[in-house]
Structure 1
Amino acid sequence: MLKKGIKYTVALILLLIVGYNSVYIKKLSEVKAAAATGKFDATLYAQTFWQEKLTPGLAKANNLPELLTLLKSDKENAFKNYSHALGIGNLRYFLIKGIGKITASNENDISVTLLPDSVGQEVKLATEFVYGNAVRDALGILSINDFSNTMDMNNVSAEINKKIRTEIIPPFRAQAKKSDVVAFTGAIELNQVHLRLDEIEVIPVSLNLIQK
């Protein structure tokens, strides 16, 4: 019995030693910082969103000439049914598509006149300053609850915009020239209180030159 008691005592001591060495305390601020920086991968999230959500979702893009007509005749209806945004405020985002003829290649954008010719409105395809949340929010499938903090939300936008600047725009810009016809999809940002339809800028998601 004595030997058996000694064995149990030794086993208990070893268990306590292992348990003590395996438990340690971190400051709460360190735990939160690790969770914020270690668990969310904005690059991976943006890539998955682009491939699995945004690209298939382009089929739902609004025809830009038709949208502009609706905005002129029934602004409230257009914003209510076709715009999206994660937060509250006057800025809203639309997923759009269109075809246009290139009229000028500028330093920061490419000017395009919408087709058919009867539309005749000029819009800008952004090629330099691609920023903001337009592409992230225009599809309307993300929620604030999908993110634990605003930094993660903003980092996703930054990664999406980076992809547009580095992968979508350069090959198009290298080939595009005046009088070429381009089919494009993308997102536009509009202020529902201070609406300006003469200054439409498209953040492109796809750009395809049409053979004449």
Structure 2
Amino acid sequence: MQKKVIKYTVALILLLVVGYNSVYIKKLSEVKAASTVGKFDAAAYAQTFWKEKLTPGLTKANNLPELLTLLKSEKENAFKNYSHALGIGNLRYFLIKGEGKITAINENDISVTLLPDSVGKDVKIATEFVYGNAVRDALGILSINDFSNTMDMNNVSAELNKKIRTEIIPPFRAQAKKGDVVAFTGAIELNQAHLRLDEIEVIPVSLKLVRD
């Protein structure tokens, strides 16, 4: 009996020693810091891309009326030379610019008739549902190899779209009214296999009222 007591006592002591040595106490700040080492910062990446790449790159934007004319007459040429996308498929993105007269301020977008008057083409500027990869891809300077996974790529798009929704659209929408003329730059998404030029929606990168 005594031997069993000694045996169990020794086993208990060994268990306590092993358990104690396997427990490590670290500060919460140290754990958080360790977990973020090497983690992709989509917000910081998007800010740098916007400031150092996208904004300077707006000088390369295609005149929207001219692009629409080319798409009608030489679709393959237009897509080949002026559209971009990180992945394969029919969805392609164009960096564009233009001017238009506001004809309606809707709940989710602003209707615009392109100028000069001879163009007579209506497009919409998105003001509510800003999503997708158009702004990220339209400039055509990013590569899939720039990212370690698709989640990082998608998060960059989300951050760019968030910036547009929170910083670009609100001050413009607060001042814009029907009859105003707006100068805009931005991106459009078109499906090469099922091209619809009567449903152009611009995701804005810059918006400026130029005259009443």
Pairwise TM-score range, normalised by the shorter structure: 0.7 to 0.9
Matches within 5 A, 1:168-207: 168-207=168-207
The equivalences for 1:1-212 within 5 A come to: 38-212=38-212
Q: Which runs of 5+ in 2 are unaligned?
A: 1-33
SS of the equivalent of 2:195 reads coil
- Residues of 2 paired with 1:146 and 1:140: CA distance? 13
DSSP-derived class of the 1:104 partner: strand
What is residue 31 of structure 2 aligned with on the other side?
Answer: none
Can you list the C-alpha shifts for 1:133-156, whole angstroms capped at 9, x where unaligned? Answer: 000000000000000000000000
**Aligned residue number for residue 30 of structure 2:** none
Question: Percent identity, aligned pairs only?
Answer: 89
Deviation at 1:37, TM superposition (A): 7.9
Shift of residue 35, structure 1, vs aligned partner: 8.2
Per the TM alignment, residue 39 of structure 1 is displaced from its structure 2 partner at its CA by 2.3
* 1:128–1:37 Cα change, 3 Å: farther
User: How many equivalent pairs are there?
Assistant: 181
| TM-superposition CA deviations, 1:28-81 (whole Å, max 9, x none) | xxxxxx889842100000000000000000000000000000000000000000
* Aligned-residue RMSD, C-alpha: 1.7
Q: State the alpha-carbon separation in 2 of the partners of residues 90 and 210 from structure 1.
A: 35
